[in-house]
Amino acid sequence: MGDIIHLDIPTEDPNEFLRSLPESVGEPVTAVIFTAKLATGEWMSGWCAGVGTMQEGLGHLQADVIDRMIRANTERYGLHTHN
């Protein structure tokens, strides 16, 4: 599994986040996996990737969620953060 590069787009507005993606990525990409929760409560998803690459991307998303959960709860997991 390759490194996960966190996009640091400082906004809580999902629409602004989407508008900021092209300049935030900053380099050509070979695959995209997309999902968004609509105001209606439904989920939209799409991809421009092969099945194997989609599975690889899903693994990276899961690793990112776990990493962020651990970072938000370092005391619970007996970890110390370093500045």
Segment 29-83, tens digit of pLDDT: 999 999 999 999 999 999 999 999 999 999 999 988 898 888 888 888 887 665 5
What is the rounded distance in angstroms from the CA atom of residue 31 to the CA atom of residue 2?
A: 14
Give me 76's structure tokens: 């619970």
**What was the pLDDT predicted at 1?**
57
Segment 9-35, tens digit of pLDDT: 889 999 999 999 888 888 899 999 999
What is the rounded distance in angstroms from the CA atom of residue 72 to the CA atom of residue 49?
A: 31
Strands (E), 4-79: 32-37, 43-48
**What was the pLDDT predicted at 45?**
95
> Which secondary structure element, helix H or strand E, spans residue 13, and what is its range?
none
